Amino acid sequence: MLNGKAAERKISVETVQRVLAAAKDVNYTPNALARGLRQKKTHAIGVVFPHLRNDWAHLIMRGVVEELGASETVPMIVCHHGDAELEARLLRSLVERRVDGIICNPLRNGMDRYRDVVRRGVPLIFLGDAPKGLDEIPCSAWDPAAVHLAVEHLLALGHRRIVYLGSRDNRVISEARRHVFWDSLRQAGLSPSRRDIILSSTSEDVGDGPLELLRGENPPTAFFVEYDDQAVSLYQLLDDAGVACPRNVSIATMGGSPRSVSAGCCLTTVSAPVVDEGRACAQRLMSMIDEPEHKPERAYVHGGSLLVGQTTGPVANSKPGSRGTP
């Protein structure tokens, strides 16, 4: 009767009222542990974030909550601040608490942890990116084709030597972005070289590579940066070195959501459809939970648009070293 099936079982309204009143009197609180233990279902999913910065997790959760909607399932967020050991503990904890499924923005080096989760029978889906070599685990991510928008923009401004700054992070989307970058340049009739792609070891920092390039021969006139955190680092690096940013070198990047960008320093960026990513991820996880038989593949969330900020501009004509258009 406390299940809300009163009408269906033809119980008088009066009785229902009485029971509900009694329940309130004794302060009755259903025990979700007992229920979960019995039903083998907790109506909770875990959402694992490395951090809650820059509104990213906020927007993801908007999508997740929207998708879950009136469903009884509750998203439980955990956050490990990039600490691999903590991530492991949190994942174990979620699994032991028998969440119905897990959404996880993965760390690069967590392969065994993620495998462990699925081995224990908990549906897992990656959010945003996926470690390479874990193709059996599905992933909802932003379509890397969006890279094209930024490259087009730089090409339209006359840039011909564009250097890609990324991170050596062993993830599939990260790699896919490099391919799109490469293809975009080739489609434009350029012949990018292997050395135009510089990978640093973290996804926040860029090394000194960019400065050396600028001081060398045939310096790039623009950088395409894989993650916006890195772009901010680059901007500051250039600023400290006295390189004027839109004038001498342009910077375009990926992943800024409209909100975080308008609040921050105005990078030219391709905005990510973050809410949609969250929604798609939740939707697919729920279907994995409902129908464990068919495994979804990797799926891309399309969308995003170029936000032209103050870090891109036409090629400086002052230096005659630039090669002409083909």
Partner DNA sequence: ATGAAAGCGCTAACAT
Partner DNA sequence: ATGTTAGCGCTTTCAT
Contacts to DNA by CB under 7 A: 3, 9, 29-31, 34-35, 37-40
Each residue 47-76 as x (binds its own copies by CB under 8 A) or -, in order, gives ----xxxxx-xx--xx--x--------xxx
253 binds its own copies per the rule CB under 8 A: no
Nearest distance, CB of residue 10 and its own copies, angstroms = 28
Nearest distance, CB of residue 7 and its own copies, angstroms = 22
Nearest distance, CB of residue 114 and its own copies, angstroms = 15
CA distances 241 to 214, 238, 255, 321, Å, are 11, 5, 26, 21
Nearest distance, CB of residue 220 and its own copies, angstroms = 27
Residue number, 10 or 40, with CB nearest to its own copies: 40
Nearest distance, CB of residue 242 and its own copies, angstroms = 21
Do 241 and 211 contact (CB within 8 A), yes or no? yes
Nearest distance, CB of residue 135 and DNA, angstroms = 30
Contacting range for its own copies; rule: CB under 8 A; set: 30-38, 130-138, 146-154, 159-167: 30-38
Among 33, 156, 241, 244, which residue sits at the site for its own copies (rule: CB under 8 A)? 33
Which residue type does 7 have? A
134 binds its own copies per the rule CB under 8 A: no
37 binds its own copies per the rule CB under 8 A: yes
Residue number, 19 or 197, with CB nearest to DNA: 19
Choose among DNA, its own copies, none what residue 9 binds, the Cβ cut-off being 5 to 8 Å by kind.
DNA
Among 78, 214, 237, 289, which residue sits at the site for its own copies (rule: CB under 8 A)? 78
Task: Give the chain as a 3 state SS string.
Answer: CCCCCCCCCCCCHHHHHHHHHHHHHCCCCCCHHHHHHHHCCCCEEEEEECCCCCCHHHHHHHHHHHHHCCCCCEEEEEECCCCHHHHHHHHHHHHHCCCCEEEECCCCCCHHHHHHHHHCCCCEEEECCCECCCCCCCEEEECHHHHHHHHHHHHHCCCCCEEEEEECCCEHHHHHHHHHHHHHHHHCCCCCCHHHEEEECCCCCCCCHHHHHHHCCCCCCEEEECCHHHHHHHHHHHHHCCCCHHHHCEEEEECCCHHHHHHCCCCEEECCCHHHHHHHHHHHHHHHHHCCCCCCCCEEECCCCEECCCCCCCCCCCCCCCCCCC
45 binds its own copies per the rule CB under 8 A: no
Residue number, 32 or 241, with CB nearest to its own copies: 32
Residue number, 117 or 198, with CB nearest to its own copies: 117
Binding site for its own copies (CB under 8 A): 27, 29-34, 36-37, 42, 44, 51-55, 57-58, 61-62, 65, 74-79, 81, 86, 89-90, 93, 95-98, 119-120, 263-265
